[in-house]
Structure 1
Amino acid sequence: MKVLSFGEMMLRLKTPGNERILQTQSYEATYGGAEANVAVSLALLGDEVSYLSKFPNNPLGQAAKSTLQKYGVDTSKILTGGDRLGIYFFEKGTSVRSTNVVYDRAYSAFSQVAQTEFDWPTIFKDVDYFYFSGITPAISPDLEQAALAACEYCKQQGIPVVCDLNYRAKMWSPEQAQKVISKIMEYVTICIAHDEDFEATLGIQAFDGDSSRGIEQKESFKAAMKQVQADYPNCKMVASILRNIYSVEASQWTALLLTDETFYETATYDMHVMEGVAAGDAFGAGLLHGLLHDYSSEKLVKFALAASVLKLTITGDLNLVSEAEINQVMESNSGARLAR
């Protein structure tokens, strides 16, 4: 079975160590982006995955494509054109100083793509699952329409749609997000939402904003997940990570999965975080991998969270781990339990 992942890949420039952008004189250059991160994870797990985006025909675009190819992602669907690759600057926080991201993605090749450039019957001819995040429709009106058109085509063809709502306040407002995501959710088969994603994108409150006690709000998360399925009957599965974040480095992570009117819960991991970026993408990839291989619901959420917490130990956007490593983490912790 093959997955198509749809989104923007960017050049990531990170300050060394914990230096601030204001003080640094050099940057570590890598490549990443939500949907690209998922594609690489799936390829590393041995799954068939292709990536849909648009890259400029210059060395940066070529380097981004080479990064995907190096890890086994099919890049044959990527469009070429435009003037630039999007960039984001990453400043790692520490202790009480939060990690910060600065986007420089305006007028990127992907943000300037026209919805008419996507030939959906050709793009989806060998696809079994479609994955994208809420970041993609936030980039431009054309990508909003493209995401919606892709979802409509998937419904016609019976292709499951997996969407990580992935709200980014620096890209759009809750009002804008809710207007768009409410349309897209009519087609979503599997929904992933964490923390403020529920309220910002769907207007459903699951989380009061206190990141130090997300796990303690488990019941409100469960109520929100039930509400998602009540509002969007096509959504057969809702998954969410719950966290208690005490500082940039210290946090606790657990996860919930709702499917067939039953909740599945994982154990809680006490984490010392090396770099708190793209763990949600790793979770989404883990969930998709389990779906592709018919994991039980219990194993599905356990595997996804194990993949996610492993990402917290790795620098860069990409979760460079194997299935064996994820299984080792999953099996070394206490098992997920069934909660009705």
Structure 2
Amino acid sequence: MKSNTRHIGKVVTFGEVLMRLSPAENRKLQQSNQMDFFFGGTEMNVAASLCQFGLQCLHVTNVSDDLVGDAAIASMRQLGINVTAVNRVDHPLGLYFLEVGSSARSSKIAYNRLHGAFANITEDTVNWEDVLEDCSHFHWTGITPAISEGAYHSLRKALEVAKTKNITVTADPAYRSNLWKYGKNGHQILKELVCSSTIFIGGVNEINEILGTNYSYNKEQFIEASKRLMEECPSITKVFDKIRTGLSASWQKIYGQAWTGTAYISTEELEITSVVDRIGTGDAYAAGILYGLQNYDDQKTLDFANAACALKHTILGDANLVSVDEVLDVMKGNTGGRIKR
């Protein structure tokens, strides 16, 4: 039996598309002479997950004008993503190398992205008035404005247009210090952009980075940090956070918590004892929030996001390929892994 949903408009995401290159079977790079590849990127991963949930998603990005860009676009189309706002440029697609860890050995990533196709996007590349027409939700992350000054200005323009159209803006403002190379203060820029958003996906760490505060990591401090964020950025109405406990690279525990503006809510902790792929798990959580905002109340939204995040740990590749019904099944406590016939 299919789930009843009330989809509202389309979701627009904005960010870099990357090629991921990774040795198979948990090998280190020096052990392998061949690698698997996947296309992904934080915001594209959110769009891909939402498409699996049945939403209409349009992804805005630059890709290379070559056979690699062709393959990236084909991958997005296969995932159901609308690619009409993908721009082709004469710069290489960004990529990254991933060694997948196991047990006590952590995964390792090396990026090659700072001079790629997306880094060369400009404020004039995207017609945001057209792109955001009939859009209900716009999603961005802190990685996008960190890539280049052009990406920052383009995102700022998108948020200006989104405000005029009363679009719900979800912000996942992760701060990556190694990306901010063009002379701007990342903390200040992220605060500016968050103050043009409505839903905050992050916790104490992200709030401390943006506001320069030093809240600690417990329930009471999360609530105080959320209230402080809403005071300094009055457009923010809700804060959704994911808490991870890593027992090893292969064994993770997660739960969600949120401040709704009036109440603290949380989920049960879910345990993943045999991680297949950690890449994209935070994006799966963000996609769960976006889907829930359009279909559920706050508690069920948080539960849905946490279950979606847990399931992504079992999916190889960057994108979460599970359906709404699979997520709801985990929410009901069906985590025994019985074969469905």
1:53 partner SS:
strand
Letter of the aligned partner of 2:116 in structure 1?
S
Letter of the aligned partner of 1:225 in structure 2?
S
The residue number in structure 2 matching 1:114 is 122
Alpha carbon RMSD of aligned pairs, Å? 1.8
Q: CA deviation at 1:32?
A: 0.5
Q: Residue 15 of structure 1 is aligned with which of 5, 8, 23? A: 23
- Alignment partner of 1:38 is 2:40: no
The residue number in structure 2 matching 1:338 is none
Q: Tell me the TM-score normalized by structure 2.
A: 0.90
Letter of the aligned partner of 2:106 in structure 1?
S
1:73 partner SS:
coil
Supply the distance in 1 between the matched residues of 2:29 and 2:223 (Cα, whole angstroms). 39
Q: CA deviation at 1:144?
A: 1.0
Letter of the aligned partner of 1:91 in structure 2?
E
The residue number in structure 2 matching 1:326 is 327
Supply the distance in 2 between the matched residues of 1:286 and 1:187 (Cα, whole angstroms). 22
* Percent identity of paired positions between Structure 1 and Structure 2: 31
Structure 1: which 4+ aligned runs deviate by more than 4 Å?
none
Supply the distance in 2 between the matched residues of 1:34 and 1:83 (Cα, whole angstroms). 20
Query: Do 1:257 and 1:263's aligned partners in 2 also have CA atoms closer than 8 Å?
Result: yes
The residue number in structure 1 matching 2:83 is 75
After TM superposition, the structure 1 stretch with the greater mean CA deviation from structure 2, 218-227 or 72-81, is: 218-227
The residue number in structure 2 matching 1:192 is 201
The residue number in structure 2 matching 1:232 is 233
The residue number in structure 2 matching 1:315 is 316
* 1:249 to 1:202, Cα distance in 2 relative to 1, 3 A: farther
After TM superposition, the structure 1 stretch with the greater mean CA deviation from structure 2, 115-124 or 59-68, is: 115-124
Q: CA deviation at 1:329?
A: 0.5
Q: Which structure 2 segments of 5+ residues have no match?
A: 1-8, 336-341
Q: CA deviation at 1:100?
A: 1.1
The residue number in structure 1 matching 2:280 is 278
Supply the distance in 1 between the matched residues of 2:58 and 2:83 (Cα, whole angstroms). 6
* 1:245 to 1:152, Cα distance in 2 relative to 1, 3 A: same
Supply the distance in 1 between the matched residues of 2:248 and 2:131 (Cα, whole angstroms). 43
Query: Do 2:203 and 2:239's aligned partners in 1 also have CA atoms closer than 8 Å?
Result: no
Supply the distance in 2 between the matched residues of 1:158 and 1:280 (Cα, whole angstroms). 26
Supply the distance in 1 between the matched residues of 2:204 and 2:316 (Cα, whole angstroms). 23
Q: CA deviation at 1:237?
A: 0.9
Supply the distance in 2 between the matched residues of 1:97 and 1:226 (Cα, whole angstroms). 38
Letter of the aligned partner of 1:284 in structure 2?
A
Supply the distance in 1 between the matched residues of 2:261 and 2:202 (Cα, whole angstroms). 18
Q: Which structure 1 segments of 5+ residues have no match?
A: 209-216, 335-340
2:252 partner SS:
strand
Count residues with an aligned counterpart. 324
The residue number in structure 2 matching 1:178 is 187
Query: Do 2:284 and 2:320's aligned partners in 1 also have CA atoms closer than 8 Å?
Result: yes
Query: Do 1:82 and 1:108's aligned partners in 2 also have CA atoms closer than 8 Å?
Result: no
